[in-house]
């Protein structure tokens, strides 16, 4: 009984926290949200809101949503995802207006930074979706990202061509996942173990090559230029975010669309999902299970590898040891939080990116929250999201189980 009310209860608690902590106790002063940047088409004036009043009003709205969803559950309904999304946005806004009281928050840079931090997560999660949807658990996302980062830097430096670097990143990611595929599918080794071992292997291999082989000539690929789409790039807020980015980020948008379409709207995708849900049935109707799995896993690896290129070609401009810093594991969490759905996983990755960037921004504007707590923010958000709101998630039925014909 109480389980059905879990979502309304979580929402109610959050609403009360907002009202008491940010509204009643609150902080004095105005919070300024800056929308426009200098290059914009037309200028949107800064939003200036009284910090405490805003939090109070938003808190009451949040409480109303919580109450409405409790009523809905009582009548036997389910709280819809869009309600949760609206609730989340309002709650974040209330938190922001509290945290930046007396200061100015440039929204464009906040969102730009969030997107940048989310890019490897999105690619990693997409790679994971393909691999797990076809029935192979992919713990090796971290290794694929790192292999992609390494090879893109080396190949782009040696050939002097950044696009060759991108290609190399995809190939390296695919190679790592091919190892996963051979062990998991052909030799039926436990998929989780192979994944973990691969991560450690890639860390060791790239770190060794980095310190033993690479020099400044083979590790200075440069960075991809920003491609500005005329006119569109000058729309306030959205312009710099969506239309003034590097090729990798445009590729990311395209990849999300293609993976979603291919997975749910094509025969190819149906077969792939069938293999992940019920390989025996798929085999019975003549689908080659092993071959489909090889393809799904390898394609997934190529995508994750491409994400790795963001670290080098998209951002830093050189490889350094363990530069992926555990992002592959966060991508894995995004994938699960996104219920193995490419669009939801992308949104989850964006949420992680946002939480992480928000933590730095709050540290900079000098919020009342201690820095150690801010560093925890992305993970707290994850816990609340997964435990409180995502509800029961069910992965592909056959993920992790090898298929033995006969």
Partner 1 sequence: MNITTRKRALALAAFGAASALVLAGCAEAPEETTGSGDGADNSDFVACMVSDFGGFEDGSFNESAYAGLLQAEDELGVTIRETESTSEDEYVPNVNALVGEDCGIIIGVGFALANAVRDSARENEDVNYAIIDSALSEDDFTPLALDNVKPVLYDTAQAAFLAGYLAAGVSETGVVGTFGGNPFPSVTIFMEGYAQGVEAYNEAKGTDVQVLGTDSFVGNFEDIAAGQTLSEQLIAQGADVIMPVAGPVGQGTGIAALASDDVRVIGVDTDWYANPTHDEYKSLLLTSVEKSLQLTVFETIEAALAGEFDATTYVGTLENEGVTISDFHDQASAVSDELAAELDELRAQIESGDLVITTEGTPSA
Binding footprint of partner 1 on the chain (CB under 8 A): 104, 106, 108-110, 112-113, 116-117, 120, 183, 187-190, 193-194, 197-198, 200-201, 203-205, 207-208, 210-211, 216, 223, 310-311, 314-318, 320-325, 327, 356-357, 360-361, 363-366, 370-372, 374-375, 404
SS3 266: coil
To partner 1, the closest distance from the beta carbon of 267 in angstroms equals 32
Residue 224: phi, psi to the nearest 5? -65, 140
Judged by CB, which is closer to partner 1: 20, or 364? 364
Based on CB atoms, which residue is closest to partner 1, 7 or 37?
37
Reported residue count of the chain is: 406
Neighbours of 208 (CB within 10 A): 11
Report the 10 Å Cβ neighbour count for 33. 18
> Which strands make up the sheet holding 104-106, listed edge to edge?
47-50, 30-34, 104-106
CB of 344 to partner 1, least distance (A): 24
User: Between residues 260 and 315, which has the closer beta carbon with respect to partner 1?
Assistant: 315
Backbone angles phi, psi at 67, to 5 degrees: -65, -45
Provide, rounded to whole angstroms, the least separation between the CB of residue 182 and partner 1: 10
Taking the complex as a whole, how short is the minimal distance between the CB of residue 196 and partner 1, in angstroms? 9
Based on its alpha-carbon atoms, the radius of gyration of the chain, rounded to whole angstroms, reads 23
- Beta carbon nearer to partner 1, 98 or 183: 183
Pairing of strands 104-106, 30-34: parallel
CB of 62: closest distance to partner 1 in angstroms? 27
Q: Long-range CB contacts (< 8 A, 24+ apart) of 155-161?
A: 155/221, 156/221, 156/222, 156/312, 156/313, 157/217, 157/218, 157/219, 157/220, 157/221, 158/218
Smaller CB distance to partner 1: residue 77 or 204? 204
Nearer to partner 1, 292 or 324 (CB): 324
Whose Cβ is closer to partner 1: residue 32's or residue 292's? Answer: 32
* Burial group, residue 15, by CB count within 10 angstroms (0-12, 13-18, 19+): buried
Min CB(255)–partner 1 separation in Å:
19
CB of 323 to partner 1, least distance (A): 6
Cα 56 from Cα 24, distance rounded (Å): 7
Minimum distance, C-beta of residue 325 to partner 1, in the bound complex (Å): 4
Hey, which residues does 31 pair with through a beta bridge?
49
For partner 1, give the closer residue by CB, 112 or 292: 112
Which is closer to partner 1, CB of 217 or CB of 285? 217
What the block records as the tokens of 26 is 């609150």
DSSP strand E in 1-122: where? 30-34, 47-50, 104-106
CB of 387 to partner 1, least distance (A): 22
């Amino acid at each position: 009984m109480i389980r059905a009310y879990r979502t309304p209860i979580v929402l109610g608690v959050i609403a009360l926290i907002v009202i008491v902590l940010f509204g009643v106790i609150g902080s004095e002063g105005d919070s300024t949200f800056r929308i426009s940047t200098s290059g914009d088409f037309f200028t949107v004036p800064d939003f200036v809101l009284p910090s405490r009043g805003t939090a109070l009003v938003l808190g009451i709205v949040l409480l109303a949503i919580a109450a409405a969803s409790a009523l809905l559950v009582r009548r036997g309904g389910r709280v819809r995802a869009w309600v949760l999304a609206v609730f989340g946005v309002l709650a974040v806004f209330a938190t922001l207006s509290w945290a930046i009281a007396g200061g100015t928050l440039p929204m464009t840079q906040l969102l730009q930074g969030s997107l940048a931090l989310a890019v490897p997560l999105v690619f990693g999660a997409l790679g994971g979706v393909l691999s797990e949807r076809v029935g192979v658990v992919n713990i090796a996302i971290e290794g694929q990202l790192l292999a992609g980062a390494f090879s893109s830097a080396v190949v782009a430096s040696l050939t002097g061509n950044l696009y060759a670097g991108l290609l190399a990143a995809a190939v390296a990611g695919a190679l790592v996942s091919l190892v996963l595929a051979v062990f998991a599918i052909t030799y039926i080794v436990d998929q989780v173990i192979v994944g973990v071992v691969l991560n450690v292997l890639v860390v060791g291999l790239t770190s060794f090559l980095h310190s033993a082989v690479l020099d400044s000539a083979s590790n200075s690929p440069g960075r991809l230029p920003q491609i500005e789409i005329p006119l569109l790039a000058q729309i306030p807020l959205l312009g710099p975010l969506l239309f003034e980015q590097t090729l990798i980020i445009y590729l990311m948008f395209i990849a999300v669309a293609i993976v979603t379409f291919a997975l749910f709207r094509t025969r190819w995708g149906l077969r792939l999902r069938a293999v992940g849900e019920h390989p025996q049935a798929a085999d019975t109707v003549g689908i080659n299970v092993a071959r489909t799995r090889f393809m799904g896993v390898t394609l997934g690896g190529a995508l994750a590898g491409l994400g790795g290129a963001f670290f080098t070609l998209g951002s830093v401009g050189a490889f350094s040891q363990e530069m992926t810093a555990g992002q592959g594991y966060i991508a894995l969490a995004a994938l699960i939080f996104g219920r193995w759905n490419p669009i939801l996983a992308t949104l989850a990755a964006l949420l992680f990116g946002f939480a992480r960037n928000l933590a730095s921004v709050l540290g900079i504007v000098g919020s009342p929250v201690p820095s150690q707590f801010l560093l925890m923010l992305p993970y707290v958000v994850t816990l609340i999201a997964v435990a409180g709101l995502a509800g029961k998630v069910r992965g592909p039925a056959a993920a992790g189980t090898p298929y033995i014909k006969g």
